A = this chain, B = another copy of it.
Amino acid sequence: MLEKFFSPKSIAVIGASRKPGKVGYAILQNLKNSFSGEIYPVNPNATEILGLKVYPCVRDIEEKVDLAIIAVKAEIVPEILESCGKKGIKNVIIISSGFKEVGNIEGEEKIKKIAKKYKIRILGPNCIGIYDSYSGVDTLFADPKRVKKPAKGHVGFISQSGALGLALLDRYAEMGLGISKFVSMGNKADVNEIDFLKLFGKDPSIRVISMYIESVSNGKEFMKVSREVAKTKPIVALKAGRTEKGKRAVASHTGAMAGSYEVYEAAFKQSGIIEANDLEELMDFTKALAAQPAMKGNKIAIVTNGGGFGIIACDQAEAEGLELAELSKDTLKKIKEILPAHAVAGNPADLTGDADSERYKQVLDAVFKDPAVQGVCVICLMQLAPLDERIVEVLEECKMYAKPFTLCIGGSAYSIEIAKRLQRNGIPVYPTPHRAVKALRVLYEYGNILKRVKRKSKT
């Protein structure tokens, strides 16, 4: 019943606090704002918090409780977990830290034992829990002045690190990328990435699964499940702790064994997981895969109003194993008719600095319709005057061609605003041609993975 972590009807917050700034206060406040089910604060020293009736113990709640969130000192977590078991709660998120990650193996074993006894599924300990933009479950105890939370979207985001997850959610929200479900796994005393891969794999609101992992709990099972999930949706993963020093840092972070990076690399490849080499790639690839179809071949077109940016995109395409599509004579003729005399019709199509959105619209139409083109990188230097915000509409209309495309837009306020509008409408925007082209490569990579996993499942 892992679904209950994300879609409970009622939640008990154990360690609910009256003091703003405390974790147990922030969680309660968040839930009150976003969760429409029943909320039961638990604290033996309070009777009412934020207008909600407080219970001295979870067992004093008469109604059924689907999910408990524990935010108390590590020492009393076992005792609290016992009372959850007795109350019949089957899903528990343990926010509290002070277990395996600081060498308290005994404490962690104790809670595992209690969970087994009562058939409780535990998320954590040492985690920040869950954020679900649809159900409103939100245990992220962050100051809303500092952390923006993403709108509804199609990303399932699994993170072994809580702080890293929070920092990435804040960035996703800022760039306009929506999220469906986020889960921070912490020490993974019980549920782990394999459970969430399975769950997210079946979740119709999730189109791409994005992972930050330091260690994997069961390699073989992880690969098997990934291979299955990759048939229907892309998985992107960043594995941290690749190097000796990195591995040592992992051990003191989540108490995990990072393992050999080469093994991970090979396993990712075999299981159809797209590897990200850093946080930027993780976010960039996730963005592309959340919004765009897989690319069927490696032939792309580049459309730009800045020659230099176009050249850089060309160079990068070759570096990424993509090829510039040979446009048909018919397409070239059409482009020539659209462009002014001083522009050269070709691929990249350099619409030159005086291009407006109408010129983009016409050239994009010709380029997208060319059967040789399998994906498009569109570069818009919004710094160049005749191009204006009408480009947003033009680019949104490009979705109808059902071919993958990525955008390069960047700069100050004017450019940022246009980039955000496009991103909110499901078009992946990158600040440089380099990253926009790399994102196309990833869409091509997922196209190849699809072919491979489907072939394998037939034989």
A interface residue numbers (CB < 8 A to B):
21, 97-98, 102, 142-143, 145-148, 159-164, 166-167, 170-171, 173-174, 212, 214, 238, 240-246, 248-250, 252-254, 277-280, 305-312, 314-319, 324, 341-342, 344, 346, 348, 350, 353, 381-385, 410-416, 431-435
Contact B411 A147 (CB under 8 A): yes
A237 CB to nearest B CB, Å: 13
A153 to B226, CA, bound (A): 50
Taking CB as reference atom, which chain B residue is nearest A348? B249
Q: When the two chains form the complex, which single residue of B143, B159, B411 contacts A385, counting CB atoms closer than 8 Å?
A: B143
A414 to B148, CA, bound (A): 9
A162 to B173, CA, bound (A): 33
A223 to B82, CA, bound (A): 74
Contact B145 A414 (CB under 8 A): yes
Contact B312 A240 (CB under 8 A): yes
What are 8 inter-chain pairs, A to B, with CB distance below 8 A? A102-B341, A146-B383, A146-B412, A146-B414, A148-B412, A164-B307, A174-B413, A214-B311
Q: How many copies does the complex hold?
A: 2
Contact flag A306-B342 (CB < 8 Å), given A21-B385, A315-B240: no
Chain B positions within 8 Å of A434 at CB level: 277-280
A143 to B310, CA, bound (A): 22
A214 to B170, CA, bound (A): 38
Contact A245 B318 (CB under 8 A): yes
Contact B435 A280 (CB under 8 A): yes
Contact A411 B167 (CB under 8 A): yes
A102 to B280, CA, bound (A): 38
Contact A306 B161 (CB under 8 A): yes
A253 to B313, CA, bound (A): 14
Residue from A308, A310, A318, A433 with most neighbouring chain B CB atoms (10 Å): A308
* Shortest beta-carbon contacts, A-B, top 3: A161-B308, A164-B308, A253-B307
Contact A381 B167 (CB under 8 A): yes
Contact A350 B253 (CB under 8 A): yes
A34 CB to nearest B CB, Å: 18
Chain B positions within 8 Å of A382 at CB level: 146
Q: When the two chains form the complex, which single residue of B145, B240, B411 contacts A171, counting CB atoms closer than 8 Å?
A: B411
Contact A410 B249 (CB under 8 A): no
Contact A311 B342 (CB under 8 A): no
A17 to B244, CA, bound (A): 65
Chain B positions within 8 Å of A167 at CB level: 306, 309, 381, 383, 410-411
Contact B278 A314 (CB under 8 A): no
Residue from A147, A244, A309, A350 with most neighbouring chain B CB atoms (10 Å): A147
Chain B positions within 8 Å of A433 at CB level: 278-279
Q: When the two chains form the complex, which single residue of B160, B170, B412 contacts A411, counting CB atoms closer than 8 Å?
A: B170
Chain B positions within 8 Å of A166 at CB level: 381, 383-384
Contact B432 A163 (CB under 8 A): no
Q: When the two chains form the complex, which single residue of B145, B308, B431, B435 contacts A214, counting CB atoms closer than 8 Å?
A: B308
Contact A350 B280 (CB under 8 A): no
Chain B positions within 8 Å of A316 at CB level: 278
A316 to B279, CA, bound (A): 11
A245 to B423, CA, bound (A): 29
Chain B positions within 8 Å of A412 at CB level: 146-148, 170-171, 173-174
Contact B432 A280 (CB under 8 A): yes
Chain B positions within 8 Å of A317 at CB level: 245
Contact flag A413-B148 (CB < 8 Å), given A307-B254, A308-B253, A344-B252: yes
Q: When the two chains form the complex, which single residue of B148, B346, B381 contacts A163, counting CB atoms closer than 8 Å?
A: B381
Contact A309 B164 (CB under 8 A): yes
Residue from A411, A414, A431 with most neighbouring chain B CB atoms (10 Å): A411
